[in-house]
Amino acid sequence: MKNEKGITLIKLCILITIYLSIIVVSIYFLKSSYKIANLENFVAKMELIQEKVNLIRNQYKSWENYDANEPGNYYAYLQYLEFPNANSSANIYIEDFNRIISELNNSDKAYWDSNTDSIIANYCYFNPNDLEKYLDLKDINLYVIINFYTGNIICKDGIIDKGETNEIIYRQYDTEIGNPLVSIPINNNSIFSDIEIIENNGLNQKVKVYLVSEDEANQNIPTIQEIYYLDSEEDDIKKKCSNLQDYIYVDSEKSAYFTINTSGKYSFIIKDINYIEYPKVDLEVNLCNSPILLNGMKGIYWDQDGNEIEIENEKDPNWYNYSSENLKMANAKSQDGNYWVWLPRFIYKESKEITNLDFVSGTSISSTRNKQTTDYRVHEAFETDNKLRGIWIAKFQVNGEKENNVSIVPGKPLTVLSKKDAIFNIENCIDTNLKSFTKLMSDEERNAAIIFSKSENIDITNDLIYYAGGAANEKGYINNTNYSSTNNVYGIYDLITSQNELTINSYDSEEGRYRPVMAIK
C-alpha cells in the first residue's frame, strides 16, 4: 500500500508539473498573441489615419508654398478653425512627441525629412475626438500628430520599451504606405561647412572638414553622420571620406580629419545625423615634391601684416600650397640671410593658347593627378643634372660687390657683372653649406620658372627698377607683387627685366644681372 501511495504521489507531482508548464507556456503564447494582436490593431489604426491623410493631401493640392488666404488649402482651413499646432499648450503629450522627434532625428532612417519633419511646429495635434471630428475616423483611441505637408504621422504610443535593451521602437507612416520619403538637402544659413589644411607634406595633405556656425555663441552644431567628396575626374559620383586614409571623426570638435594622396579639385559635402546636407565646400590639391631644406636653411612664410615667420616644422601647413586657388611657393632663408624659392619637378604641355602643368612624385614622369599625360614631358631644367626633385631658385637677383659678397635680399641696388665674374662670386662667396649645390641659373631653369607662371595664367610685369624686389626699401617687395612669378609675396622676383639677366648659357663677356640656383637630386 505504501508503495502504491508513493507511486501515486510521484505521478501527481509529475502531472502538476506538466499542468503548470502548460499554463506557463499558454500564458506566454497568450501574451505573445496579445502583443501581436495589439501591434496589428495599432498598425491597422495608423493605416486608416494614413489613408485619410493621403486622401486629404490629394484633394488639397497646394501644400508647397501654401498661402494661408488661398481657398482649398486644408492647412489654411485648420488654421482658420484655430486648430492647435503640436507644440501648443493644447497638446498635453508634447513631451512624448518631442521624445519621438528626438529619436527620429538621431535614427538611421533615410526617409526622415529633416527640413520639415524634425520641427514639431510643422505638425497638427489630433486626439481621438479630433480624429472623429475632422477626419471622420471613429473608435480610434490614438493621440497623433500629422504633418499635412509631408503626410507623416507619428503616434504618442509609438514608443515601446523592449525591456532590458531599452530599445526604442516607433511607428511612423510615410506619404504613401510602404514608400519612404526621400531625404531633402537644405541650405542652413546659420551653419555651414568649412575646410582647413592641417599638414602639407608635398605628396599628401591632411585636412580637417567641419561644421561651423556664423553665430560664435551657437553651441547647437549637429553631429556629422558622413562626409562625401566629389573629385574632378568623377564629379557626379559621391564617395565616402570615411574610406580615405587616416580618417577620424572627433565628436567634441564636430570635425573629421583625413589624408588626401592625389592631386585634384575636390568638393566636400557634409550630411549630419538629421540627414541635412550642407552646401559643398571646395578644395584644390596640387601635390608635388616636398621642399628639401639643406643645412642652415629655414622655411619661412608671411602673415597678413607682411611679417616674416619661421616655420615650426617642415609639415607646417602655412609654409606652402601649390594649388591654383591658394598658390604659395615654398620660401626659405639660408643662414647667410639669402632668400630662396622652391620649384618642384613637373611635367608640362605647352601650346600657343595654353600651358598645362602637372607635378610628379620623386624623379618619376607620372603625374600626381593619376591621369593620362602621355603627351606631357618633364621640363628640361629637371633632367639636365641627373633627374632633379626640385630647384631652389634665388628669390631676388644678386646685389653685392664684385669678389666680395653674394647677397640675395630685397631693397638693395642690383649688381651688374660679366658672366665670368658672376660665376666667380657664386663659387667663392656663397654660403659654405650650399656651395656644392649652387650654380649660376641656366636658360632652362629660368624658362621653368616662367612656364610655371604661364600655367597659372600669371603675367609678370617688366621690372624697370634697379633694386632687388622692385623697391629701394627692405619691405617694398611685399607691395610690388606684380614683379613676382606668382603675383604674390611667395614668388620669384624680376624674372622679366629691362636689364639682361645672365645665365650659364650666356657669353663669358656678356654683362647683366644674375641669380644663383641650387639643384636638388
Averaged confidence pLDDT in the chain: 79
Q: In this structure, are 408 and 511 located in the same domain?
A: yes
Q: How confident is the model at residue 517 (pLDDT cuts 50, 70, 90)?
A: very high
CATH number of the domain at 213, please.
2.60.40.1930
Residues 315, 451, single domain; the answer is: yes
Query: Rounded to whole angstroms, how far apart are CA atoms 345 and 367?
Result: 10
Q: Which residues of 273-292 are buried (b: 16+ CB within 10 A; e: fewer)?
A: ebbbbbeebebbbbbbbbbb
CA distance 128 to 339: 81
Q: What's the CA gap between 488 and 412, in Å, rounded?
A: 20
Task: Look at residue 146 in the predicted model and tell me its pLDDT.
Answer: 85
What pLDDT is attached to residue 27? 57
Average pLDDT score over residue span 61-77 = 54
Q: Does residue 454 have a pLDDT over 90?
A: yes
By the 8 A CB rule, do 358 and 310 touch?
Answer: no
* Structural domain ending residue among the three candidates 285, 318, 338: 285
- Do 336 and 448 share a structural domain? yes
Q: What is the pLDDT of residue 178?
A: 37
Q: Could you report the per-residue pLDDT of 120-140, keeping only the tens digit for each?
A: 777 888 888 888 888 888 888
* pLDDT, tens digit, 9 for 90 and up, residues 16-52: 777 776 666 565 555 555 455 666 677 778 878 878 8
Residues 238/230, Cβ–Cβ less than 8 Å? yes
Beta-carbon contacts of residue 267 (< 8 Å; ≥ 6 apart) = 229, 230, 235, 280, 281, 282, 283
Structural domain for 467, as ranges:
298-520
pLDDT, tens only, 502-511:
999 999 889 9
Q: Give me the phi and psi of 33, to 5 degrees please.
A: -65, -40
Is residue 279 located within the same domain as residue 331?
Answer: no
The count of structural domains within the chain is: 3
Same domain, 280 and 195: yes
pLDDT at 187 over 50: no
Is 2 inside a domain boundary? no
| pLDDT above 60 for 110 | no
What pLDDT does 175 receive?
40
Tell which of 285, 315, 346 closes a domain.
Answer: 285
Euclidean distance between CA atoms 123 and 120, whole angstroms: 6
- What is the arithmetic mean of pLDDT over 421-433? 84
Residue 502 and residue 386 share a domain: yes
Residues in the chain: 521
Cα 96 to Cα 45, 144, 245, 348, 506: the distances in Å are: 19, 11, 43, 65, 86
Say if residue 404 is in the same domain as residue 496: yes
Structural domain includes residue 107: yes
Same domain, 340 and 421: yes
Helix, coil or strand: residue 408: coil
Confirm whether 316 is domain-assigned.
yes
Answer yes or no: is 238 within a domain.
yes
- Give the mean model confidence (pLDDT) for residues 166-172: 48
> 124 and 68, same structural domain?
yes
- Which of 285, 307, 326 is at the close of a domain? 285
